[in-house]
Amino acid sequence: MADVPNLTPLPEPGRIEVVALEGIPEIRPGDDLPQIIVSALRATPDAFPPRDDDVLVVTQKIVSKAEGASVELDTVEPRPEAIEFAERWDRDARQVEVVLREARRVVRMANGVLITETAHGFVCANGGVDASNVGPDSGSIVTLLPEDPDASAGRVRAAVAEASGIDVPVIVSDSFGRPWRCGIVDVAIGVSGLEPLQDLRGEPDHDGRVMRSTVRAIADELASAAELTFGKRAGRPVALVRGAAFRRGEGSIRDVLMPAEFDLFR
Amino acid sequence: MADVPNLTPLPEPGRIEVVALEGIPEIRPGDDLPQIIVSALRATPDAFPPRDDDVLVVTQKIVSKAEGASVELDTVEPRPEAIEFAERWDRDARQVEVVLREARRVVRMANGVLITETAHGFVCANGGVDASNVGPDSGSIVTLLPEDPDASAGRVRAAVAEASGIDVPVIVSDSFGRPWRCGIVDVAIGVSGLEPLQDLRGEPDHDGRVMRSTVRAIADELASAAELTFGKRAGRPVALVRGAAFRRGEGSIRDVLMPAEFDLFR
Q: Which of A232, A253, A263 to mutate to test the interface with B (most CBs of B within 10 A)?
A: A232
- pTM of the complete model beyond 0.90: yes
A-chain residues near B21 (CB < 8 A): none
Per the DSSP assignment, residues forming a β-bridge with A191 are A171
A-chain residues near B122 (CB < 8 A): 180
C-alpha to C-alpha distance for B88 and B192, rounded to whole angstroms: 41
Residues B64-86 have a mean pLDDT of 96
| B108-165 pLDDT per residue, tens | 999 899 999 999 999 999 999 988 655 555 568 999 999 999 999 999 999 999 999 9
What pLDDT sits at residue A214?
A: 79
Among candidates B110, B207, B244 on the partner chain, residue whose Cβ is nearest the Cβ of A228: B244
What pLDDT sits at residue B209?
A: 52
B7: contact with A, CB 8 A cutoff: no
Fold of domain B17-69+146-255: 60s Ribosomal Protein L30; Chain: A; (3.30.1330)
Please, are residues A244 and B226 in contact by the beta-carbon 8 Å criterion? no
Q: Is residue A213's pLDDT more than 80?
A: no
Superfamily name with CATH number, domain A70-142: CofE-like domain (3.90.1660.10)
| A25-50 pLDDT per residue, tens | 999 999 999 999 999 999 999 999 99
| A37-91 pLDDT per residue, tens | 999 999 999 999 999 999 999 999 999 999 999 999 999 999 999 999 999 999 9
What pLDDT sits at residue A131?
A: 81
What pLDDT sits at residue B9?
A: 53
Residues B20-35 have a mean pLDDT of 95
Return the residue of B nearest to A215 by Cα. Answer: B183
Residues B64-71 have a mean pLDDT of 96
CATH architecture of structural domain A17-67+167-253:
2-Layer Sandwich (3.30)
How far out from the chain centre does Cα B47 lie? 21
- B12 versus A138: which is more confidently predicted? B12
Q: How far is A186 from chain B (nearest CA, A)?
A: 8
Mean of all residue pLDDT scores within chain A: 90
| A115-145 pLDDT per residue, tens | 999 999 999 999 999 886 555 555 689 999 9
Enclosing H/E stretch for A123: strand A123-125
Sign of CA dihedral B119, B121, B126, B131: negative
| CA distances to A101, B84, B208 from A69, in Å | 14, 50, 22
Confidence of residue B231 (pLDDT cuts 50, 70, 90): confident
What pLDDT sits at residue A119?
A: 97
Structural domain spans, chain A: 17-67+167-253, 70-142
| CA distances to A1, A3, A201 from A6, in Å | 10, 9, 10
Q: Is residue B81's pLDDT more than 70?
A: yes
Q: How many residues does chain B have?
A: 266
Q: How far is B46 from chain A (nearest CA, A)?
A: 12
- B200 versus B107: which is more confidently predicted? B107
- ipTM over the 0.90 cut-off: yes
